[in-house]
Amino acid sequence: MANKPFNAFKLAQDQFDAVAEQLGLDQATKDFLRNPDREYHFNIPVRMDDGIVKIFRGFRVQHNDARGPCKGGIRFHPHETIDTVRALAMWMTWKCSVVDIPLGGGKGGVICDPHNLSMREQEGICRGWVRQIAQNIGPIQDVPAPDVMTSGQHMVWMMDEYEKIHGAKFPGFITGKPVNMGGSLGRTEATGYGVIYTLREALREMGTDIKFTKASFQGFGKVSQHAVKLYREYGGTPVCVSCWNQEEQKSYSFLKKDGIDIDKLLSITDRFGGINKKQAESIGYEILPGDAWIEQDVDVLVPAALENQVTEETAPKIHKNVKIMVEGANGPTTIEADKVIKERGIFVIPDFLANAGGVMCSYFEQVQCNMNYFWPKDEVLGKLDAKMTDAYLKVSALARKRKLYMRDAAYMIAIQRVAEACKMRGWV
């Protein structure tokens, strides 16, 4: 989608620098927080199904642990770079802080494409990743979780390897596990639901009934699927989703003006969120180019795919009726696009606030693992809703009071808390 060279870490640092300046942080704190505390780069040798050993490149970045152990997912992506992992680790620090959970920020990645790997080969990558870093991660150091193209199964393999190495059971080592393996009910839905809880609050503040709104989503993976579902349950009309087509190596948008039937669409979707084009056409979807999701005449846009999607080139295509953009993905909007959106007065619920439901529920999962006592789903989702709503209201109150852009208000709260923790520990 984007042709311009893009560096997610530069975006994360630029966003940080601007707010650090406004907050008047001292030089040491600025220098400390604009780079990760620690990072690990390593080789992961895996014997492939054809008998040949292939070396994959793995990363873990620990951005900051002043407020608690680092926390963040592991992505499997063919275009993974250390700078993307650095940015995502930094965003995790702000994410955990803005929703006020006692965790820091980390992120991991492996350069690989699970589309072309057998489950046995993926297991080899998971176990190899843990072996390389087993002394530097753990329930009280750094807790991984799923992210782009990783799932509960990957988490169980990683947990199993970690437990073998350390010779005991550590269910709190990793989150996003399947429910029968120490996972939390509600974790699968949590990120998508969190996106919609914040949207619900924003619409309520605007005095708009969600039932009279339409929304367009980018992506149809774990976040988008559940966001579409809850948005529909609340009475909204989701009209468009997009997804990556692995065969053609490009993305498509799927438009259904009278509203997406989520169960039907899921029945023709693969495990990576790829929708079958032919079948979609046969049940009434218009198949449009990948970018078309952003041009739709809707009230709400939800970029919930990857970083660098709402750019200088695509932002001007946003329809004049769009009032809110809720960022389900991490880092979907570039600095240049942010300017366009600001000028047009579109209300943004920034990524590290909007999509914090996932890590919030991961935190609940850790709490339940530590107690070895698991809550019913209603209780998990009730707690998730309460904490997401509270975090949203604090950010929107600050934005209103100080006439700030929502992203800046969220950054102010998050950075301030982390800076204070660093100061209290005597680090800066």
Options 32-40, 67-75, 152-160, 240-248: segment touching ligand GLU (CB under 6 A): 67-75
Active-site hit among 107, 222, 229, 256 = 107
Site stretch for ligand GLU (CB under 6 A), options 126-134, 247-255, 352-360, 371-379: 352-360
**Judged by CB under 6 A, which stretch of 47-55, 230-238, 351-359, 416-424 contacts ligand GLU?**
351-359
Nearer to ligand GLU, 149 or 292 (CB): 149
Tell me if 154 contacts ligand GLU by CB under 6 A: no
- Does 366 sit near ligand GLU (CB under 6 A)? no
Among 65, 80, 123, 147, binds ligand GLU (CB under 6 A): 147
Question: Exactly one of 60, 71, 214, 222 binds ligand GLU (CB under 6 A); which one?
Answer: 71
Give the range of 25-33, 66-74, 132-140, 266-274 binding ligand GLU by CB under 6 A. 66-74
Instruction: Find the part of the chain contacting ligand GLU (CB under 6 A) among 53-61, 178-186, 228-236, 353-361.
Output: 353-361
- Which residue in the set 359, 369, 418, 419 belongs to the binding site for ligand GLU (CB under 6 A)? 359
- Using the minimum distance from each CB to ligand GLU, give the nearer residue, 59 or 252: 59
The answer to whether residue 71 is catalytic is no
Q: Judged by CB under 6 A, how many residues of this single chain contact ligand GLU?
A: 13
In whole angstroms, the minimum distance from the beta carbon of 353 to ligand GLU comes to: 11
SS3 content of the chain, % helix, strand, coil (to 5): 50, 20, 35
Of residues 73-112, which lie at the interface with ligand GLU (CB under 6 A)?
Answer: 73, 95
Q: Are 191 and 357 in contact (CB under 8 A)?
A: yes
196 interacts with ligand GLU by CB under 6 A:
no
Least CB distance to ligand GLU at residue 410 (A): 14
> Per-residue x/- marks for ligand GLU, 242-281, CB under 6 A?
----------------------------------------
Give the C-alpha distances (Å, rounded to integers) separating 6 from 33, 57, 212, 312, 426. 21, 21, 37, 12, 35
Which positions from 312 through 341 interact with ligand GLU, judged by CB under 6 A? 330
Q: Supply the DSSP symbol for 276.
A: P
Rounded to a whole number of angstroms, the distance between the first and last alpha carbons of the chain is 41
The residue (of 285 and 352) whose beta carbon lies closer to ligand GLU is 352
Give contact residues for ligand GLU (rule: CB under 6 A): 71-73, 95, 145, 147, 175-176, 330, 355, 358-359, 362
Residues annotated catalytic, as ranges: 107
